[in-house]
Amino acid sequence: MSQTEAPSTAATGDRLRWWTELPLIVLVYAAYSAGRLMVRGDEAGAVDHGLAILRAEKALHLNLEHPLNRLFTAEDWIGVPADFWYASLHYLVTPGILIWLFRSRAAHFRAARTWLMASTLIGLIGFTLVPTCPPRLLSPGHGFVDTMAQYSSWGWWGGEASAPRGLGGMTNQYAAMPSLHVGWAMWCGVMLWRHGRTPLVRAAGIAYPLITAFVVMGTANHYFLDALAGAAVMGLGFLVSRRVVRAADLVRARVRSAPVAGSARPGRTSPAPASTAASSIVSGECQTSAGERIPRQRKVSAGPGGGPGARSSDAGGGTADWGLPCSSEAESLGKAR
């Protein structure tokens, strides 16, 4: 493998397992949904925030919601598909791309999943700090029509929200800033563009977030600034996710390098066995070289100069030997005399 080629997840030992990834994603989404319901905020404050956003857009000439909403309301062939788009694709395309990455782009799945989850939790902070009334819930004098209510007979959603009929009270309708419909669609678009291998897939990566942005404004579910905030949240989530991934990799590396219980510590060697610890054997006050069992006088080999006093090297140890008896042999010889 070349140095520029990214190692696969399996090659690095981080093989993905669906029974660990699925509970993690479900847990984060459940926490997000529960937190979204708990931070509804008061209606008066949400309406004030919505009107403040609308005034800011008019001052900046960014009020795209009104013309789009009039178009979606007047043309049901546009409004009905847009409502289906808003109520359905948010919950179908995003999980579908997660599954696609898991199965076909496993080396990129962990980073992509972390980016999505980090951005979702950041969006929850926005819902908590800035509860915002969407355009469709403002008083009729502001010129908006709730297309979800107008075309509710065409789909499964009720007039209260994009949730199924009878479950409108189970959603937080003031969680409009930022627009995670746009944020998640932007994430899907980036994944399709970066990891798609055909021009059609990459074109879908461009079209999906753009169409979603027009849909959320035309259905009067979000302001234009909500859409911009959704994109900004994804950018911030991307920066945060990179730090999270690096920290997770560091922790994983430390866990793997930690010594296993019962194993020798790095840098330390096991003590040598008793049989090899000593290089010689001491027996009867006579030291022998390695391998000798009985103390004896080493033989003297005559060198080139001849004579019994010539030096010789021990065959086993390679040390000098002068041909003298060892101390115990000398003592026994003296007694014999």
Please write the tens of the pLDDT for every residue from 62-91.
989 999 999 999 999 999 999 999 988 988
CB 328 within 8 A of CB 285: yes
Residue 156 lies in a domain: yes
> Between these two residues, 283 and 125, which has the higher pLDDT value?
125
Q: Which residues contact 279 (CB under 8 A, 6 or more apart)?
A: 290
Comparing 310 with 181, which gets the higher pLDDT?
Answer: 181
pLDDT at 118: 93
User: Residue 66 sits in which domain range?
Assistant: 18-253
Domain annotation covers residue 62: yes
pLDDT band at 36 (very low <50, low <70, confident <90, very high): confident
Q: Residue 131: is the preceding peptide bond cis (ω within 30°)? A: no
Specify the DSSP element, H or E, that contains 57.
helix 43-60
Q: How far apart are CA 176 and CA 46, in angstroms?
A: 9
Q: Does 326 fall in a domain?
A: no
Distance of CA 114 to the CA centre of its chain: 5
**Amino acid, single-letter form, for residue 229:** A
Q: How confident is the model at residue 9 (pLDDT cuts 50, 70, 90)?
A: very low
Does residue 278 sit within a domain?
Answer: no
CA distance 239 to 307: 88
Give the least confident one: 17-31, 167-181, 307-321. 307-321
Contact between 79 and 150 under an 8 Å Cβ cutoff? The reply is yes
Distance CA 22, CA 233 (A): 24
How far is the C-alpha of 43 from the C-alpha of 164, rounded, in Å? 22
What per-residue confidence (pLDDT) applies to 50?
Answer: 94
Return the H-helix or E-strand segment holding 305.
none
pLDDT at residue 145 in the model:
94
Higher-pLDDT residue of 237, 20: 237
Per-residue model confidence (pLDDT) at position 234: 96
Q: Where are the alpha helices (DSSP H) in 175-223?
A: 180-195, 199-218
pLDDT in tens, 111-145: 999 999 999 999 999 988 899 999 999 998 999 99
- How far apart CA 109 and CA 100 sit, in angstroms, is 9
**Overall pTM > 0.75:** no
Mean pLDDT across 157-176: 68
Task: For residues 261-265, give the mean pLDDT.
Answer: 52
Q: At residue 265, does pLDDT exceed 80?
A: no
Residue 86 domain flag: yes
Rounded CA-CA distance 157/147 in Å is 11
**Residue 311 belongs to some domain of the structure:** no
Rank 104-118, 125-139, 211-225, 282-296 by mean pLDDT and report only the highest: 211-225
Q: Whole-number mean pLDDT of the chain? A: 77
| Widest CA span in the chain | 136
pLDDT score of 11 more than 50: no
Give the least confident one: 90-94, 122-126, 308-312, 325-329: 308-312
Enter the tokens of residue 208: 């999906």
Are 177 and 229 a contacting pair, CB within 8 Å?
yes
Instruction: Report the chain's C-alpha Rg in angstroms.
Output: 40
Per-residue model confidence (pLDDT) at position 94: 94
Q: Work out whether the CA dihedral 113, 117, 122, 124 comes out positive or negative.
A: positive
Q: What is the pLDDT of residue 262?
A: 52
Query: How many domains would you assign to the chain?
Result: 1
Render 224-292 in DSSP notation, one character per residue: HHHHHHHHHHHHHHHHHHHHHHHHHHHHHHHHHHSPPTTSPPTT--PPPPHHHH-SSEEETTEEE-TT-
